[in-house]
Structures are given as C-alpha cells and as structure tokens.
Chain A
C-alpha cells in the first residue's frame, strides 16, 4: 500500500496567540509541535504498512520549520516526507489547504490511502481531511476508530459517533480521518530518530504540484474570519470536604450524585 499521512505543525496549545488585525494564529516565534491528533494518523499508517507492506509518506504544508514535524513522524516509522512550503501557500484556509494537499497527493501518484488526524488543535475545523477527499473525488470516512480489514480493492473501518459506531466499507483509494481511540502511538526508537534527523525532505512549491495560484493562499481561501473571542470562562464550584476519610468519601459520593456525575 502507498499511504500518505497528512500532518500539520501547530503551536503548542498554551502558546497560541491570535493576531488582532488578521485574526490569524501568530506562528512566528512560537513553540511548535506535531498536531497531536496527527500522531495517531502516523501510527495507523505505520501499522497498516507493517501488516500489508508498502510505504508511508508524510505530507505537510507549512513554513520551512515544519520539517521538524515531518521528522518526528518519520522517527515514528514513516518512510519519507514532503513539505509544501512557499509564501504563495500562506494564508490558506482549509479549502485552499486541502486543494494544495490533494494536488501533492496526485503528484505523488498511485496512492491507495490518505490518513489525517481528525482535526488540528489550532483551527479545530476538522475540514482538511474531507476537503482532500472532495478535491480528489475519493470516498472518505471520518472519525475512524478502527481499521477492520484491507483488501486490494477496499478498506473496512469503524466510524465512531456518540451513540456507538458505524462499519463502513470504502473502495480504495480513500481518505480517512482518525480519532485517538484508534491506536497508541509508539515511542520513537533511537534508530528512528537518527534516520529522521538524516532524512532529506524535499520542499515542493506550487509549480511543483501544478497548483493554480488563485486557488491557494489568501486568494484561494473563501473563509473570512470576522471576529474572534476567547471562550467564556468555565463556571466552577469549589467545596472543601472535611472529616474522617470515610466521612469525606461518603460526602464526596453524595455531592457527585447530587450533580449527576455518578
């Protein structure tokens, strides 16, 4: 199988800041990490490769420093990585981003499966995976919690939803977005880290993937952020319970039941 895993480098959560003028996340000078949901996508790609053979290619769009996240993914068992990086990609919304990623996937060629994390923790839109499927014209399954089986022609997965799960069978090639229940990402080995450090990561520009310039960057992004605001503060109740251990435990259980938590 030729598997492409799309990843994103995101600001470390506690560092995220919004530019008040552009309403966009300020990335310069911020500590960046591999989007945590994407680590599950990488692991699933590697697990499928281990089961069925083939290759896992990491694809990322972002500034040049995003190669760090690609290397992290390679250290987890992926074979190679490609970075889409150019000023022309800057300001892309989820539609323009998924267009660019789809063009890169088409250029890679003969891809059987694309896997994405369910969403990025900065934008929280969960739109890029479905956007890639739309641009490629492939079927997709979102919120995948388990890959049940893969054949040469199809893949059967469990999709998680609030009341249970669906079992879906999709013809290949297809796009999956995965939730964190799907696996436990492995700890990179030293060999993996060393290989990742040495890996050559080609940078593809818009011309390399045949992207039309009016479909990427700000020009290609229909999304307009009108206003941003922090979420309302959570209302918390604090209550100190005193007494013996048994009394405290009894009172704690009573309080939790009172609030329908137990």
Chain B
C-alpha cells in the first residue's frame, strides 16, 4: 500500500447501486462508467459494502456480473461483518480468484435486513459479537497471504479506546489504515502517524459540498449552510499530511473528477 502513496494513487470511493434502485440498469451503467474512469486514471477504485447500512449490491458481484476488468493494484473491496458465512466466502473466493488483493475490513453499520456474522461462524472465542478484529483474524487464517487488509480509524471516537482498538486490529493482521473524513488538521491523526510511522495511512477527504452531512461522523453539529470547498480542502490535506495517501469519498465524477489530477503535486 505504501507504493500507492509514493506513486500518488488516489483511492476513489464508488458507491454501488442500491438494492431498491428503481432504475437499476442506468445505475449499473453509471457504476461501470465510474469504475472505468478510475481504472483509466490509474487510481484505485474502492467499492463500499452497504455503506451507512443502506442495502446495496456487493462490489464483487458488480465486478462479476458487469464483467469489469480487474487490475489487482487498482481495486479495493470494503468488507464488513454483516454477511452470512457462506456469502463471506463467496466474496472472498471471488476476490482471490480475480486477483483482488486489497480489502478494507470494517465492522459496518448493519441493517435489520442484513445477517450478521456470529462468533461461532468464524471460530472466534471469548467475544459476544464479531468486529473487524475477529474478521481480520479469520480472513488471515482462512486465506493466508492472499489479501492485504486495511482498517478504519475514527479520530472522533474516544481517543484511548480507538487506539486500543487499533492495537488489536494491527495485531489481527491490518497493514494499512484509512481514517474517517478530515476537514482540517487533526491532533488524533497526528498521534496516529507518530505512533505508527511505518504504517501506510490514508486520510479520507470529504468531497461533497454538503459538509453538514458529516455531523454524525464527527460527533458535532455542522450547520447546513456552512460554506465548504472540497477541492481547496483536499489541497490543504495534502499540505498537512504529505506522507499520507488520500481516500476520496462522495467525489463528484461530473464536477470534480477532472480537477483532482492537479491537486496532488
């Protein structure tokens, strides 16, 4: 993952079509177009897994059904704990067979309609529920050496707890970190970088102009009419965190994509 940062490879989030889409064909076409554009740019396409608990199609099945080309260096699949064991293996087997190496392993937001991995499913003992830690450990055991696994870091959670979790995630096999969205310098992320100087850290840049949507993630209210310039903020993040990679969430493919090529200089 370090070479992604050294080669200035953006990680571009692509949201899959939702399960309840009323215009599925159009949504699939749009997804394929975005994916192709990320591939052409030499960036890494990061496909979410039921983000925010909204039911959507899996990245692996989209690649399979749409017959999208896979460059192992340019695709990252998010994987959360809201799957049956059978589905989990279907996803992982597909990724392995297609050469998809990068996984972002997260606990996930869930939904009442989604199944949840049980500790007994993956041989986790002494825990009441499966988190990213148990999932990392399981994937490492079941698919030794196959995947490069990253984890999330949330600087807005209670700090000591988050660092304690990070210790366990790294011990379970995580080899890179992606943060929650940053919109300014963050002391907790600074501490993270200082604590793990060898670990590739990718900071998330919020590319939507609707900065108020971040309220829930950051834990404080951001007024709806707050002015926010995502491109300028992205440039600022590069200046503040020159050793980090950048994950672009909610990037506007029509309005912003052509602008990002010149932001990482």
A interface, CB within 8 angstroms of B: 184-185, 187-191, 193-194, 197
Contacts and interface: CB of A to CB of B under 8 A. Distances in A.
Given A187-B114, A188-B19, A197 B61 contact: no
A94 to B, nearest CB: 29
A80 B224 CA distance: 48
Interface of B: 19, 24-25, 55, 57-58, 61-62, 65, 113-115
B19 A194 contact: no
B65 A191 contact: yes
A187 B55 contact: yes
A185 B114 CA distance: 9
For the complex of A and B, list the 8 residue pairs with the smallest distance between their C-beta atoms, beginning with the closest: A190-B57, A190-B61, A190-B65, A191-B65, A189-B61, A193-B24, A187-B55, A190-B62
Given A184-B115, A190-B65, A197 B55 contact: no
Is chain B's interface secondary structure helix, strand, loop, or mixed overall?
A: loop
A184 B24 CA distance: 24
A191 B25 CA distance: 12
A187 B24 contact: no
B74 to A, nearest CB: 21
Contacts of A184: 115
23 contacts: A184-B115, A185-B113, A187-B19, A187-B55, A187-B113, A187-B114, A188-B19, A189-B57, A189-B61, A190-B57, A190-B58, A190-B61, A190-B62, A190-B65, A191-B61, A191-B65, A193-B19, A193-B24, A193-B57, A194-B24, A194-B65, A197-B24, A197-B25
A188 B55 CA distance: 10
Contacts of B113: 185, 187
Contacts of A194: 24, 65
B86 to A, nearest CB: 10
B63 to A, nearest CB: 10
